[in-house]
Structure 1
Amino acid sequence: MKLSNNKILITGGASGIGLGLTKRFIKENNTVIIIGRRESELKKVADQYPSVIIRVCDLSVVKEREALYTWISENHKDLNVLINNVGIQQWMSVLDELFFEKAKKELAVNVEAPLHLISLFLKLASLDTILNVTSGLSFVPLVKVPVYSATKAMLHSFTLSLREMLKAKNIEVIEIIPPALNTDLGGKGLHDYAPLVNDFINAIFLQLEKGETELTFGFSDAIVKAGPEQLRQAFIKMNVPAS
């Protein structure tokens, strides 16, 4: 992937990893479009970075995803990079009364949205790069976030297939595989212990410069390289209370 002179759409670009990507791609001389549900958060980013283009969009809604594509195709038909970053994480149990309702929301945002956007944006003749943000939990699930872990595993698997499917079209497919980071994913304060987003962004941009297509950091780097026994031990360490 070239790191400058792109027009890039980042879903969930106003917070967390998405905001980190937004800031860095602007610094690298790119035109960046960010979308999200909360107009107030989008405007905060635009106030700080006047070059950023914002649009309110609830990606859990099919018609809003279609409207987003129509707007892009009419106003930004030279867009060449799609970054599927947005995701929601809910701590829950299958025994919860509202489990299925919560699960449907995660499936809509974490799975349906990126797949739908990819199928739509592939209609753009200018598209040459797709980045999907998955998770270290794609490889070892955290039982407290069972649906989130499963959705990221699905997106990881799909990304591997997508890379092969799009080789003939010369569209590069890159997977960003973060560990837990100091963001508000899942709720404020839950990840205060984790590495800073800026450290993660710096690390993955070094990998992009080298032309790598699986971008990892810390825990996710170790887990991507792990064998079956190491994965089993990681699952136990993450999920089984000490006796």
Structure 2
Amino acid sequence: MAQNIYDNPEFFEGYAKLNRSVNGLDGAPEWLSLARMLPNMNGLHVVDLGCGYGWFCREAQRQGAQQVTGLDISTKMLNKAREMTTNDQGITYQQEDLEALQLPTAAYDLVYSSLTLHYVENLCALIKVVFHALKPGGNFVFSVEHPIYTAPKEPSWLMDRSGNKSWPVNNYQAEGRRVTNWLAEGVVKQHRLMATYLNLLVASGFVIVHVEEFGPTAEQILRNPALDEEKELPMLLLISARKP
């Protein structure tokens, strides 16, 4: 079973204060890049893996998706998603552990996931489930923390001789479990190489459509100076794949 850190009161309280929690997709600097990777969602059947507050589920509904299913392991997240969904027509929220997920065959046009898959240990099995759950021509679009950031065993900013922040990349080639203290102590994430993400998709039968190592634009940094520390190294990896 996956770690359910989002039901940890300390973690949940900290997460609720993040810009992407307060402002939804508009508070996620990578959203515009992800949005360009998405198909026209009018009439589609969509599933969101790790739906959190349900921001993407509601956006897919707004864009005309016929049916949207939001899956999350966290009771607190799902309760918040239901609370924030004023029009639940066509949206279903379900509690699921992605480590043991089963989905119906050829049921979805789009599988989406934002900043969730780096928590999944058996990603190979999950990607196979996603492939079989998609209709032919269906899309799998997701974001994860970039391997540069999941690599360190003890992630922390360092200062270089000029007084600028730098990020030490340690043990990059050694894939596996990493434990960090982010919002709460003992948060478990899975470090894997960029090549591993791509090769797992290819091995499962996907065609890779687009890969982006996301960094904020100058305009985004101007609006939110806190993003300046992410301009040198990409913090997020965005991938779009298609089932032939």
- What's the TM-score once normalised by structure 2's chain length? 0.48
Q: Judging by fraction of residues, say which structure has more strand.
A: 2
Give 1 or 2: higher helix fraction: 1
TM-score between both structures, scaled by the size of structure 1: 0.48
